[in-house]
Structure 1
Amino acid sequence: MASHLDLEEQEQLDQLKAFWKRWGNLITWVLTAVLAAFAAWQGWNWYQRDQAAKAAAMYDEFDRAYNAQDLDKAAAAAGDLQARYAGTAYAAQAGLQVAKLQLDKEKADDARKVLAWVAEHGSEGPYRDIARLRLAGLQIDAKAFDEAGKTLDAIKSPEFTALVADRRGDALLLQDKRDAAKAEYQKALAGLEKTQDYRRIVEAKLATLGVPAAVETTGAAQ
């Protein structure tokens, strides 16, 4: 009986050796690749968390300068975020905020540069599109209408469709293309919810073009 078991064990051992001889290298390479991929994934997650933590600390520094309306310190902190942590949301947020502060301080050229950076390098689509929308407004103010049109063309987020049309209307009106401007403002108005305050601004623009505001029905007829 023992001899029979020994023969079975030997046969199984021989089969295992033959299998490993044929497939051992492949199995080793596959396992190595899997372990390497897992280690890389873990390392990437750690790196992302580390970057986010460092960016958050730097953003706190920016936020203090921004709240104090210290343009020089805020711009420097925002620049550091862009240089060192460009892939984080903090860099895009700081860019949008410092551009607003620059405009408040009558630094339109600096604001355009910062908004152009966010439009190109912002970590998420909505940040890039907000930057493009604001940048287009500054380009329109500077009468750089072709540049503004290209900037607006790059906005793809559907939630900004109405505001893009409003900006196009502004550009067209400044070029004295009143009919085209009216069409864009009407498109903007159609895309805005009735509860949005910005509708009043678009309605006012249409009123200057001879289009009266629509009368809203608030109750059923008696």
Structure 2
Amino acid sequence: MVDIFDEVSEDLRAEQAANLLKRYGGLLIGAAILVLAGIGAQQGWQWYQAKQNDKAATAYIALANQIDAQGGSLTNDQRVADAKAFVNFAATAPEGYRTLAKLKAAGFYADAGQIDAAEGLWNDVAGDSSADSLLRDLANLLWAQHALGTAPNESVAARLQPLTVPENAYHDIAEETQALLYLHEGKTDLAKSLFAQISADPNAPEAVRNRANGLLAKLNG
């Protein structure tokens, strides 16, 4: 009896499946087509993005080479013009190259003495959730370095705090900037302690260790 019951149940399930296929087969086929179309659209979008990135890379390198060809001795007007060229590039560039172009533009503005314009671009990058975290951290660090002594100390400290953890790629330079902030606040002992920590860190860049040693010697002298 059990075997016959199982056979009848299987026949019924097969019949129901056949009826469902007749009734909804068109919809299932349509859904399958949509899925395949979605896969094709995704691949097409990825191809389009790759092409756009290739175009952006070529344009970015061409612009950088054009500016490098000017040589190292630039007037402030030339630096501002170069900054604007990168800003214009960033306006239509895809993610990644847009961020790099903004950072380049900010550097030229800063070198030209237009710190407000530079800080605006660093803020743009730092607040861009689509930007690479390393570049966002770099933007925060550059903002803090240039805002030191002009922006509220609390604002500078807040930007530096997440950068000073050992896991951060910029933590040595961030600690150096934090020590300078301590000096600005009149917290000499904290500054000396942090400079000593940096100078004793074998993993810190040599230039950062040397600066820390020099400042520590002056503070102790």
Question: Normalised by the shorter chain, which TM-score bucket?
Answer: 0.7 to 0.9
- 1:56-205 map, 5 Å: 56-67=57-68, 68=70, 69=74, 70-87=78-95, 89-121=96-128, 123-155=131-163, 158-193=168-203, 196-205=206-215
Name whichever of 40-49 and 133-142 sits farther off: 40-49
Instruction: Report the Cα offset of residue 48 of structure 1.
Output: 1.3
Q: What SS does the corresponding residue of 1:54 show, helix, strand or coil?
A: helix
- Determine what percentage of the aligned residue pairs are the same residue: 24
Structure 2 gap segments, 5+ residues each = 1-13
CA 1:137–1:19 in structure 2 vs 1: closer, same or farther (change >3 Å)?
A: same
> Normalised by the size of structure 2, how large is the TM-score?
0.74
Give the aligned partner of residue 3 of structure 1. Answer: none
Q: What SS does the corresponding residue of 1:197 show, helix, strand or coil?
A: helix
Instruction: Report the Cα offset of residue 144 of structure 1.
Output: 3.3
Instruction: Report the Cα offset of residue 205 of structure 1.
Output: 1.9
Instruction: Report the Cα offset of residue 82 of structure 1.
Output: 2.6
**Is the 8 Å Cα contact of residues 78 and 94 (structure 1) preserved in structure 2?**
yes
Q: Does 1:35 align with 2:36?
A: yes
CA 1:167–1:194 in structure 2 vs 1: closer, same or farther (change >3 Å)?
A: closer
CA–CA separation in structure 1 for the residues paired with 2:49 and 2:162: 28
CA–CA separation in structure 2 for the residues paired with 1:174 and 1:195: 24
- How many positions carry a matched residue from both structures? 198
**Is the 8 Å Cα contact of residues 161 and 191 (structure 1) preserved in structure 2?**
no
Instruction: Report the Cα offset of residue 185 of structure 1.
Output: 2.5
> What is the letter of the counterpart of residue 151 of structure 1?
R
CA 1:24–1:153 in structure 2 vs 1: closer, same or farther (change >3 Å)?
A: farther
**Is the 8 Å Cα contact of residues 132 and 152 (structure 1) preserved in structure 2?**
yes
> Normalised by the size of structure 1, how large is the TM-score?
0.74
1:71-94 CA-to-partner distances (Å, cap 9, x unmatched) read 34422222123322251x222222
> What is the letter of the counterpart of residue 156 of structure 2?
A
